[in-house]
Amino acid sequence: MPDLPQHRSVLAGTAHSSIAASGIRLEALPEGHLLHVLGAIEPAALAAELAKAGFAESSIRKAGFRQWFVAGDQPLAHAGLEALTAALAGKAFVTDQSHGRLRIGVSGHSSRLLLSKGTAVDLDPAAFAEGSSVMTMVGHISVQIARTGDDTFELTVLRSFAESLWEDLSYMAASAVKDEA
């Protein structure tokens, strides 16, 4: 049926697939899956349940009090979601956010400089170690920042704000390159 909506990536196309500047790389990450888990379950127990349900390659990111985002590059399998929901029954609730949020990768030796232009979060490795995550604002947009490596971050944003965030990051990247020069 031609009148059915077609899925398209918000940041698809050459203009939004990636930007590389001196010391900075912005990249639209695979849409994969993003689950919001709410409940009184510890991260280690959640990780065990994720592995059983086929989400072993996913990462767990704190999103608030008794809240986590489970992010991964693989598309969401309905059977896996059902298995996870059943396993967490009585302990936590699972909401699929895969179609409502996007992830943007920010990497390179100037990535912290770029992000410091938009947020007040202390991204120094001593204060924000690999595996850390925080809900914050980048400019006027609510995002989750997760440190995934030494100079590598993932920003999770509501789908409707993804293009605006991408434009802001692109502008900040150009400014960060000028500041380094």
What CATH number is associated with residue 108?
A: 3.30.1360.120
Spatial contact of 165 and 101, defined as CB atoms under 8 Å apart: no
The Cα 3–Cα 22 span in angstroms is 44
CATH of the domain at 64: 3.30.70
Express each pLDDT in 90-111 by its tens digit: 999 999 999 999 999 999 999 9
> Both tokens of residue 82?
């059902």
Residues 105 and 176 in one domain: yes
Whether the per-residue pLDDT at 7 is higher than 90: the answer is no
Q: Of 96, 112, 127, which residue sits at a domain end? A: 96
Please report whether residue 5 resides in a domain. Answer: no
Closest alpha carbon to 146 in 34, 39, 10 = 34
Whether the per-residue pLDDT at 55 is higher than 80: the answer is yes
Residue 160 burial class via C-beta count within 10 angstroms: exposed 0-12, middle 13-18, buried 19 and up: exposed
Query: What residue ranges in 15-168 does DSSP mark as E strands?
Result: 18-21, 24-28, 33-39, 59-64, 67-72, 92-96, 101-107, 133-138, 141-149, 152-158
Residue 168 structural domain: 14-30+100-180
Whether the per-residue pLDDT at 76 is higher than 90: the answer is no
User: Which comes out higher in pLDDT, residue 154 or 19?
Assistant: 154
Residues 140 and 77 in one domain: no
Residues 80 and 168 in one domain: no
Predicted confidence at residue 177, as pLDDT, reads 63
Entry pTM: 0.87
Predicted confidence at residue 46, as pLDDT, reads 95
Could you give the number of structural domains in the chain? 2
Predicted confidence at residue 90, as pLDDT, reads 92
Residues 108 and 176 in one domain: yes
Please report whether residue 83 resides in a domain. Answer: yes
Q: Which residues contact 65 (CB under 8 A, 6 or more apart)?
A: none
Please report whether residue 2 resides in a domain. Answer: no
